[in-house]
Amino acid sequence: MTAPRPSSLAVAATAHEHAWRTESMHLTSEGRVRYVRCTGCAARRIDLDAPVTAPPTPLTRTLG
C-alpha cells in the first residue's frame, strides 16, 4: 500500500499566491467589473466590486 498523494490540482493551487493586476474594468448596475490577471502566471479572473452603499463620511464640519 502506498500513502495517498495530494492531487496535482491541490499542488498547483498552493504553488504561489496569485498577484492580481487589473487589466480593464467597466461599470455595471451590479458594481464595477474588473478583469484581472496574475503577474506571476497566466491565470485570469473576473472580479466584481460591489457598489458602495454606505453614505459618505464628512471629513470636516460644514464650511460657510
Contact residues for Zn ion (CB under 5 A)? 18, 38, 40-41, 43
Of all residues in the shown chain, the one whose CB is closest to Zn ion is 38
Nearer to Zn ion, 33 or 38 (CB): 38
Nearer to Zn ion, 19 or 27 (CB): 19
Least separation in angstroms between residue 18's CB and Zn ion is 4
What letter does residue 23 receive in the DSSP assignment?
A: E
Q: Contact 50/61 with Cβ under 8 angstroms?
A: no
Phi, psi of 18 (to 5 degrees): -60, 140
Closest CA to 48 of 24, 25, 26, 31: 31
Least separation in angstroms between residue 21's CB and Zn ion is 10
